[in-house]
Amino acid sequence: MIKIDLSNVWLDINPMELVKKEAEVFAAHELLAEKKGPGNDFLGWLDLPTFEERDEMRRIRRAAERIRSNSEVFVVVGIGGSYLGPRAAIELVKGQNHNLSKRDPQIFFAGNNLSTRAWSELCEHLEGKDFSINIISKSGTTTEPAIATRALIYMLKRKYGEHAKDRIYVTTDPEKGALRQIATEEGYESFIIPPSVGGRYSVLTAVGLLPMAVAGINPLDVMLGAATAKEALNVRSLENPAWQYAAARNLLYGSNKYIELLCSYEPNFRYFAGWWQQLFGESEGKDGKGIFPATAEFTADLHSLGQMIQQGERNLFETVIRFAPPPSRVMIDPNERNLDGLNYLAGKSLAFVEEKAFLGTLNAHVDGGVPAIILETGDINAQTLGELFYFFELSCGISAYMLGVNPFNQPGVEFYKRNMFQLLGKPGF
């Protein structure tokens, strides 16, 4: 289970202040659990993790088997909460290069931008390949996925005629929205985003689980991890790692640390960090408040952001995710000529070097005025993934209530849309 190490924040916050936060964290957790806070119509995610297999999960697994057997490529269409979760899961567990695997269908994401180049590249890639699509949109009306959907359905119909519908999977609201209507009228197999689950809290519904299953990640293991986390995090005291994380980041924010940099030493964590960024950014950033969620991949970004972190404006703290070391070891060999001067590392493993890089960086950043919360977790697998998703969702709900904002709306996102629709001449704008 996830552990939080706060030993690197005490230069900036006092342990007594953390203890004093207990009542505030308790109140925020109770608001969530008793469903009495703002946005309480959107708390369905609290109860998604379960140890039993529900009907929807059985259908997800059956659909995934079908897709895996008849498709070389699976295109997942969606944006924001309907996109980042599945991508985060697939890249973390199957790796950034998952599309090179011969065992699993290739998975591409569409409808998350308006780039003509990205679209043309996808079309070129789909040429001559058997493919299926999963359209994910809670509202069913978001412009970017709607444009990609129209075009992909056209391509499928041209290629497969009346059988195209067997390759179209829809994930949306059970009753409302254009996509629900399309699915019903056209007879596409469809999955549900419960009305009480907002986009960025939806990864443990079919939104995340169907693409994960197609990628070869067992969704039952993901649920097992999430359900285990749900039980473990149901503790009402500062022993609870979600409380420790929420309390520490809240205190750091109060001491002028306005930016949280989520860092990991795993390149495959990049999209998980993107999911986290949306979760916290859209949940907390409102009413003129909020910690700006930023992300970094170490050690690569130590060679780009490292200078800024070490000596720039002292307004940030780090949250560093540490995974248990992988079972396989990679060793550094001795070299007779030692022209690269690396023989001092001969016989050491890559994991050993990584550990020292982590410790050296941590000490440098803390000494330089950047406190760090360390989050330790297990090896990278489906279960750890489920735990992490639930841990961050719960921590985010608690954190936002501590900040005094509604974690479950995103009124600010409408501003760009309104301007865009006016410029596009959409009726009604």
Contact in structure between 88 and 271 (CB atoms under 8 Å): yes
| Residue 231 annotated among the catalytic residues of the structure | no
Whichever of 84 and 220 has its CB closer to ligand PA5, that residue is 84
Nearest-CB residue for ligand PA5: 199
Whichever of 391 and 408 has its CB closer to ligand PA5, that residue is 408
Residues binding ligand PA5: number (CB under 6 A): 14
CB of 136 to ligand PA5, least distance (A): 6
The single residue among 37, 39, 80, 369 that binds ligand PA5, judged by CB under 6 A, is 80
The single residue among 50, 96, 113, 139 that binds ligand PA5, judged by CB under 6 A, is 139
Binding-site string for ligand PA5 from residue 394 to residue 413, where x marks contact by CB under 6 A and - marks none: ----------------x---
Binding flag, residue 137, ligand PA5 (CB under 6 A): yes
Whichever of 168 and 309 has its CB closer to ligand PA5, that residue is 168
Binding flag, residue 138, ligand PA5 (CB under 6 A): yes
Binding flag, residue 79, ligand PA5 (CB under 6 A): yes
Whichever of 82 and 205 has its CB closer to ligand PA5, that residue is 82
| Residue 417 annotated among the catalytic residues of the structure | yes
The single residue among 142, 190, 384, 399 that binds ligand PA5, judged by CB under 6 A, is 142
Three-class DSSP labels, the chain: CCEEEEEECCCCCCHHHHHHCHHHHHHHHHHHHCCCCCCHHHCHHHHCCCCCCCHHHHHHHHHHHHHHHHCCEEEEECCHHHCHHHHHHHHHHHCCCHHHCCCCCEEEEECCCCCHHHHHHHHHHHCCCCEEEEEECCCCCCHHHHHHHHHHHHHHHHHHHHHHHHHEEEEECCCCCHHHHHHHHHCCEEEECCCCCCHHHCCCCHHHHHHHHHCCCCHHHHHHHHHHHHHHCCCCCCCCHHHHHHHHHHHHHHCCCCEEEEEECCHHHHHHHHHHHHHHHHHHCCCCCCCEEEEEECCHHHHCCHHHHHHCCCCEEEEEEECCCCCCCCECCCCCCCCCCCHHHCCCEHHHHHHHHHHHHHHHHHHCCCCEEEEECCCCCHHHHHHHHHHHHHHHHHHHHHHCCCCCCCHHHHHHHHHHHHHHCCCCC
Whichever of 139 and 406 has its CB closer to ligand PA5, that residue is 139
Contact in structure between 71 and 167 (CB atoms under 8 Å): yes
Q: Alpha-carbon distance 1 to 241, whole Å?
A: 9
From the list 282, 284, 297, 387, the catalytic residue is 282
Q: Alpha-carbon distance 408 to 284, whole Å?
A: 9
The single residue among 37, 199, 216, 225 that binds ligand PA5, judged by CB under 6 A, is 199
CB of 171 to ligand PA5, least distance (A): 9
Q: Alpha-carbon distance 133 to 386, whole Å?
A: 24
The single residue among 37, 39, 49, 81 that binds ligand PA5, judged by CB under 6 A, is 81
The single residue among 198, 216, 281, 407 that binds ligand PA5, judged by CB under 6 A, is 198
CB of 22 to ligand PA5, least distance (A): 30
Binding flag, residue 282, ligand PA5 (CB under 6 A): yes
Binding flag, residue 82, ligand PA5 (CB under 6 A): yes
Whichever of 200 and 230 has its CB closer to ligand PA5, that residue is 200
| Residue 230 annotated among the catalytic residues of the structure | no
CB of 247 to ligand PA5, least distance (A): 25
Whichever of 205 and 410 has its CB closer to ligand PA5, that residue is 410
Three-class DSSP labels, 253-309: HHCCCCEEEEEECCHHHHHHHHHHHHHHHHHHCCCCCCCEEEEEECCHHHHCCHHHH
CB of 353 to ligand PA5, least distance (A): 38
CB of 381 to ligand PA5, least distance (A): 26
CB of 286 to ligand PA5, least distance (A): 13
CB of 173 to ligand PA5, least distance (A): 8
Within 8 A by CB and 6+ apart from 142, the residues are 79, 80, 82, 111
From the list 124, 185, 239, 303, the catalytic residue is 303
Binding-site string for ligand PA5 from residue 30 to residue 69, where x marks contact by CB under 6 A and - marks none: ----------------------------------------
Q: Which residues are catalytic?
A: 282, 303, 417
Residues forming contacts to ligand PA5 in the complex (CB under 6 A) are 79-82, 137-139, 142, 145, 198-200, 282, 410
